[in-house]
Amino acid sequence: MRHQKQSQEENLTEMVEFVLLGFCDVPHLQWLLFGLFLAIYVIILLGNGTILLITKVDSTLQTPMYFFLGNFSFLEICYVSLTLPRMLANLGTQRRTISLVACATQMCCVLTLGATECFLLAVMACDRYLAICNPLHYPLIMNHKVCIQLVAGSWLSGVPVQIGQTFWIFSLPFCGSNKINHFFCDIRPLLRLACGETFMNEVMVYGAAVLLVSVPFLLILISYSKIISTVLKLPSATSRTKAFSTCSSHLTVVMLFFGSAIITYLRSNNSHSSGTDKVLSLFYTIVTPMFNPLIYSLRNKDVIRALRRLVCK
Ligand X SMILES: *[C@@H]1O[C@H](CO)[C@@H](O)[C@H](O)[C@H]1NC(C)=O
Nearest residue (CB) to ligand X, 71 versus 264 = 71
Nearest approach in angstroms of CB 69 to ligand X is 10
Separation CA 278–CA 184 (nearest Å)? 9
Nearest residue (CB) to ligand X, 54 versus 151 = 151
Separation CA 251–CA 254 (nearest Å)? 5
Count CA within 13 A, CB hemisphere, residue 47.
22
The Cα-based distances of 265 to 51, 204, 230, 232, 258 in angstroms read 30, 11, 34, 35, 10
Nearest approach in angstroms of CB 234 to ligand X is 33
Nearest approach in angstroms of CB 157 to ligand X is 11
Cβ–Cβ < 8 Å for 194, 174 = yes
Nearest residue (CB) to ligand X, 18 versus 72 = 72
Nearest approach in angstroms of CB 292 to ligand X is 15
Separation CA 60–CA 63 (nearest Å)? 8
Q: Collapsing DSSP states into helix, strand and coil, what is residue 158? A: coil
Which residues contribute to the site for ligand X (CB under 6 A)? 52, 70-71, 74, 151-152, 155
Nearest approach in angstroms of CB 79 to ligand X is 12
